[in-house]
């Protein structure tokens, strides 16, 4: 009888511990945790992405006009200058709100003591790295491509058109607003999917869906404001999802899984600069 009571007590304790673990978000024990190296890399890439357009501003266009459906979509837009300015401000507001959400999300959960500081710090390190990768890739592409923005078409007939004399005129490819908001959306989705930050699957999925909707809206507004061609926005969305969703998923949450045939365990994404050219390099470890 004593042994039965002891076994029941042990089972109850184990069940309570399992329930506590299930309801409290934790970094998976089998997943690779980020370190200060990743965080420092992210901060460095963010700094480089801000500096590049100011250090190497293109003064002429290397690429003008649209591709595929770009021209048709632009010709369907008939907004006045004042309307385009308002839409531009709206897209700026969407950028700030959407990009800040993953950071404010984990910060709020930490303040509410629903996420322990160690988990919150790991999430922040991953977010810094993803934003750094997206920002650096965007800045390198903008400076290298020097694509003229859609409103530049108006500058030939109306030199007084807004921003015709600005170096921003030749930084169309690809959309930074879109790449950063989709990075934020990707981070929201992968963190809520893997860590169950809100502890309810439906609510975590809702957070992901809302973030993706906000990022999509931002991209549409950039096209409507004639700040970007549609192709700029599509590429920006792809880069954002790669850096915000796929990168954390592969490097951290699935880095412990050996890929078939190759034996690839994990890899490290890092910037490279050589002879005036720059980019991103992926080093795989076997």
**pLDDT digit string (tens) for 258-284?**
444 444 444 555 555 555 455 555 555
What does pLDDT average to over the chain?
85
Residue 16 is predicted with a pLDDT of 41
Sequence spans of domains, the chain: 29-285
- Nearest-5° angle of CA 100, CA 256, CA 114? 40
What pTM did the predictor assign? 0.82
For 29-285, the fitting CATH number among 3.30.1890, 1.10.260, 3.40.50, 1.20.144 is: 1.20.144
Q: pLDDT band for 257, please (50, 70, 90 cuts).
A: very low
Q: Is the pLDDT of residue 286 over 70?
A: no
Query: Measured between alpha carbons, how far is residue 165 from residues 17, 34, 60, 170, 230 in Å?
Result: 64, 44, 11, 10, 23
Q: Is the peptide bond before 266 cis (omega within 30 degrees of 0)?
A: no
> Rounded distance, CA 140 to CA 95, Å?
20
245 Cα distance to chain centroid: 8
Residue 144 structure tokens: 């290298």
């Amino acid at each position: 009888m004593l042994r039965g009571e002891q076994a029941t007590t042990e089972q109850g304790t184990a069940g309570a511990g399992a329930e506590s673990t299930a309801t409290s978000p934790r970094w998976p024990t089998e997943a690779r945790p980020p370190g200060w190296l990743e965080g420092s890399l992210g901060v460095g890439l963010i700094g480089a992405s801000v500096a590049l357009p100011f250090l190497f501003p293109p003064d002429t266009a290397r690429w003008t006009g649209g591709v595929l459906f770009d021209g048709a979509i632009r010709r369907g837009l008939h907004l006045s200058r004042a309307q385009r300015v308002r839409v531009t401000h709206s897209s700026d507001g969407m950028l700030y709100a959407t990009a800040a959400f993953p950071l404010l999300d984990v910060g709020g959960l930490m303040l509410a003591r629903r996420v322990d500081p160690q988990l919150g710090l790991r999430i922040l390190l991953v977010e810094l790295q993803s934003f750094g990768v997206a920002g650096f890739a965007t800045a390198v592409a903008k400076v290298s491509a020097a694509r003229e923005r859609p409103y530049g078409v108006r500058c030939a007939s109306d030199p007084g058109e807004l921003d015709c004399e600005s170096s921003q005129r030749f930084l169309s490819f690809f959309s930074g607003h879109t790449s950063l908001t989709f990075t934020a959306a990707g981070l929201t989705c992968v963190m809520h999917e893997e860590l169950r930050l809100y502890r309810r699957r439906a609510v975590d999925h809702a957070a992901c869906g809302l973030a993706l909707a906000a990022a999509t809206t931002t991209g549409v507004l950039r096209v409507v404001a004639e700040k970007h061609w549609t192709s700029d926005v599509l590429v920006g969305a792809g880069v954002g999802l790669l850096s915000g969703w796929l990168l954390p998923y592969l490097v951290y949450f699935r880095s412990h899984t050996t890929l078939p045939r190759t034996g690839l365990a994990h890899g490290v994404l890092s910037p490279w600069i050589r002879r005036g050219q720059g980019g991103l390099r992926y080093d795989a470890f076997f």
